[in-house]
Structure 1
């Protein structure tokens, strides 16, 4: 199969039929074999019923329905796990991503050898104050922190070689940083393509200003994980040794001063440096233990599921009854 199109969605019933027809026309006109995976992330409208109707008419349509809203990252994770295409395309369901970009994205993966190609909505139709300016600041920080030179980390329109999506773990709210996850996994050929952005035709955006706050927090998390995720002792252990060492130096100094230079008979516990030394040594010990525990936890494999699928369409999967 040439292409899998993975589309996470939440309450997008009005746009799904139009989006499906658009994607199908692009695929058929280019002679692609394809599948369209709609991942319903706990919609409360008629989105799932619309997906069922589309599947009855088109066997290329497949669907996964979450038991409740688990988030875009979990939806992408579920879609990636089921995708069978050589190239996986992700896009949003709100018609702001243009399916006409798919052939060029596919060629960049298959003919130019990119592992991942991210869309860049250079000209946007969003509110400049609430979206464009924070987005530019966010993308600048992401570039500086991760070393991945992309202009638009938030663009949902991306193309992946199958090897990428099968070897990265998208969890939490890390969907913004899939290029960084791919780079950390060893997929270094990451490209970017200017894509058309379209104004939202139906409904309202599901993301507010809080996504940028969460995005920056996730950026700190992914920086830490990329640097120390597999060796937490290198950070916490080093901090612990340094702080304990500083506290020990203070304690030795106070001891020598008490034994040889204290002429007033003042107790060590009456001197502020004593408490500084004590606190520093305690914190150093705690950092060291934190690093040690991190190493132990890292070696424990967790099989806990991050989402629950309520039902699926045209897929080999067990649904919750």
Structure 2
């Protein structure tokens, strides 16, 4: 059994050697077979130079360097693609995730037969206002929307069975919702483990307050895709038919009302002076457009092809 440790990073030159030594110490003390995959997400410091030095000293180290910053999701995507271990562990490179958690995470996957274990930083060393409170709100909404009873969706420390990472597609900024992606892919044995959180030792965080706004927008996206991603016509087509039918009935009512008044010699007004004329016209047009959107969505879904999402400028050895 081998463990693959996938570490996305951006400008973490101060922590890389210390993190590597810590991981190796844990791996060797537990007699684990392992590989460490560093994904340099377009660092502008000496991070890639350090990764190449570590690779030269230890063949268990592998490295991938993006030609620019593409984001954590893309880094995890390529890390999952390159991982060869039976259990895949993801962790951040800033030393806030504790490698001492790895043996228990490994045990939960192998011995307890879980598909995914998500870390829960129950006690955090982040700012209360800028991170803790927004994180609690974000996680509460994510639990309600996804149905997964996890306390910390965004924790970087997670463990996966190999089949999970090979069968989910992490794109955009969906790294926050990997447990949801796994659930939607049919992997139901998902749980969490309380893990140690450590104060940042070097540098500063690479994420600002906008990540929570993006997180909520991504949550809406993944909710929509999980329900209608494979059948857009079921949403847009149904809404389109309902709106068109409503507009059509309104138009029939307007016409019948006008004929009734003409037949009985009652005072009548122009059709265009009736506000219901514009309501019926608008709803029929919108209904037709929604139905067309659903139809086009179905065509795109059936003809879509994988597009390039990132470019790798360099790797260490044969990876």
The residue number in structure 2 matching 1:22 is 22
Counterpart Cα distance in 2 of 1:75 and 1:314? 18
Equivalent residues in 2 for 1:205-220, closer than 5 Å:
205-220=205-220
The residue number in structure 2 matching 1:319 is none
The residue number in structure 2 matching 1:279 is 282
Counterpart Cα distance in 2 of 1:174 and 1:11? 21
- Deviation of the 1:264 alpha carbon: 1.8
SS at match of 1:131: helix
Gaps of 5+ in 1: 317-321
Counterpart Cα distance in 2 of 1:315 and 1:269? 72
- Runs of 4 or more above 4 Å deviation: none
Aligned length: 316
1:248 aligns with 2:248: yes
The residue number in structure 1 matching 2:162 is 162
1:295 aligns with 2:298: yes
RMSD: 0.7
- Deviation of the 1:261 alpha carbon: 2.6
Q: Is the 8 A contact 1:5 1:88 kept in 2?
A: yes
The residue number in structure 1 matching 2:13 is 13
Q: Is the 8 A contact 1:119 1:152 kept in 2?
A: yes
Residue of 293, 309, 312 corresponding to 2:312: 309
1:140 aligns with 2:110: no
Counterpart Cα distance in 1 of 2:259 and 2:318? 78
The residue number in structure 2 matching 1:269 is 272
The residue number in structure 1 matching 2:110 is 110
Counterpart Cα distance in 1 of 2:209 and 2:200? 17
The residue number in structure 1 matching 2:54 is 54
Higher alpha-carbon deviation: 290-299 or 256-265: 256-265
The residue number in structure 2 matching 1:128 is 128
Counterpart Cα distance in 1 of 2:28 and 2:304? 43
Gaps of 5+ in 2: none
